[in-house]
Amino acid sequence: MIPQSFEYSAPQTLEEALTLIESGERKILAGGMSLIPLMKFRLAQPDEVVDLGRIPGLNTIEESNGVVHIGAMATHHAVESSPVIRARCPLLAETASHIGDVQVRNMGTMGGSIAHADPAADYPASLLALEARIRLASARGSRVVAATDFFQDAFMTALEPGELVVEIEVPVEESTEGSRYEKVAHPASGFAVVGVAARIRKSGERITMARTAVTGMASREFRAAAAEALLEGGGSIAEAAALVGQGEQANSDLYATPDYRLHLARVHAARALATAVSRAS
Ligand code: FAD
Burial (CB count within 10 angstroms: exposed 0-12, middle 13-18, buried 19+), residue 232: middle
CATH code for position 107: 3.30.465.10
152: in domain: yes
**Same-domain pairing of 202 and 229:** yes
Q: Do residues 195 and 222 touch, judged by C-beta distance below 8 A?
A: no
**Same-domain pairing of 163 and 222:** no
Q: What pLDDT does 121 receive?
A: 98
Q: Return the amino acid letter for 148.
A: T
259: in domain: yes
**Same-domain pairing of 72 and 21:** no
Dihedral class, residue 22 (left if φ above 0, else alpha if ψ from -120 to 50, else beta): alpha
Domain assignment of residue 165, given as a range:
61-171
Query: Which residues approach ligand 1 with their CB closer than 6 A?
Result: 27-35, 72, 99-100, 104, 108-109, 111-113, 115-116, 118, 121-122, 159, 164-165, 189-191
Q: Closest ligand 1 atom to the C-alpha of 166?
A: 18
Report the DSSP pairing between strands 7-9 and 48-51.
Answer: parallel
For residue 65, report the phi and psi dihedrals to the nearest 5 degrees: 50, 45
Q: What pLDDT does 169 receive?
A: 98
**Same-domain pairing of 117 and 165:** yes
Residue 144 CA to residue 86 CA, distance in Å, equals 24
Q: What pLDDT does 1 receive?
A: 78
Segments of the chain with pLDDT less than 50: none
Q: Return the amino acid letter for 179.
A: S
Q: How remote is the CA of residue 51 from the centroid of ligand 1, in Å?
A: 14
Query: Which of 171, 188, 219 delimits the end of a domain?
Result: 171
22: in domain: yes
Alpha-helical regions (H) of the chain:
14-20, 35-40, 76-81, 83-88, 90-96, 102-107, 110-116, 123-129, 147-150, 225-232, 237-241, 258-279
Q: Closest ligand 1 atom to the C-alpha of 136?
A: 19
**Same-domain pairing of 65 and 165:** yes
Q: What pLDDT does 238 receive?
A: 98
Query: Which of 151, 171, 191 delimits the end of a domain?
Result: 171
**Same-domain pairing of 127 and 154:** yes
1: in domain: no
Give me the number of domains the chain comprises: 3
